[in-house]
Amino acid sequence: MTLFFGLTVFAKEPISPIPLNAPYDKQKALLGYRLFMDPILSSTNSVACASCHDIFSGGGADRNKVSFGVYNKKGNIQSPTVLNARYNFKQFWNGRAQDLYQQANGPIHNPVELNMTNKDVEKELSASQLYRSLFLQIYKTNTIQFSQVIDAIVEFEKALTTPNSRFDRYLRGEKSLSQDEIDGYTLFKQVGCITCHNGINLGGNSMQKIGLFEEYKNQKNYPDLYSITHDPDYKNVFKVPTLRNISQTAPYLHDGSAKTLKDSVIAMSRYQLGSTLSNQEIEKIVKFLKTLDGETPKILKEKI
């Protein structure tokens, strides 16, 4: 830690603050916001992207263990947060989407989720005078194309960043943390959590196997990396989830088996670190994790 002109510079910290300015096209993002919230994108007109990603009070994730799509069909994995997803190196738990464009395509076509084809989406939106007007204004076309729908949704997702968490402000030398919170961060690094949870998103930048020190029960229908590669070595290998806004995204883990943040820390220390933390250590780490709650994305304060 070095001091320059009264500012604290954490040049060697393995975690970086979320950038204060994440560029996006506001006009497109507002259209994407409307689409994200609209069940018109589902075959039953009853499910929206927001149905599985609570961007207002659920940290961008789902409070259910798994989400429910059209005809109340049950998903097979916990819905990850869409907040700060622009900072993930890949999307979905098994990393099958290389970017947000591929990711946005997935749920719309999935028969369990929104169950729509490209033509279905274009037809439904073209029947709406409001959407025809909005797409004409933004994309300068009288014909709504599915690629434009995805483009708008992605632009909205790019706007879903949560900067200025207490911890980010601490890293920038703008705010102090309590001693317990600082101790929790120190423990987070010392016991090894930082090995996987680092960078801007404290995760989202690598694939890791759950169950390094103790075997984690594998479920055949889980979309892990094995479901793509069919290589047995990749069973129970998932993208490391972000810890941003983690206090809001219960239940935890890919299967939603950890009900509380404390349960999640205990499980991770057991399966990933091969250690048993004291209750005091767990509480301090939890206190640190709660400092990762950032500001509400500015786009959500806009009217649509």
What residues act catalytically?
113
C-alpha distances (whole Å) from 243 to each of 35, 177, 204, 246, 291 are 27, 18, 9, 5, 10
Distance of CA 278 to the CA centre of its chain: 29
- How many C-beta neighbours within 10 Å does residue 25 have? 16
CA distance 282 to 278: 6
Q: Token pair of 234, please?
A: 């990749």
- For the packed helices 129-139 and 146-158, what is the interaxial angle rounded to 10 degrees? 80
The one-character DSSP state at 74 is B
From the list 236, 238, 291, 297, the residue with the least C-alpha distance to 261 is 291
Give the dihedral of Cα atoms 91, 96, 100, 102; nearest 10 deg: -160
Residue reference for tokens 């007109």 = 45
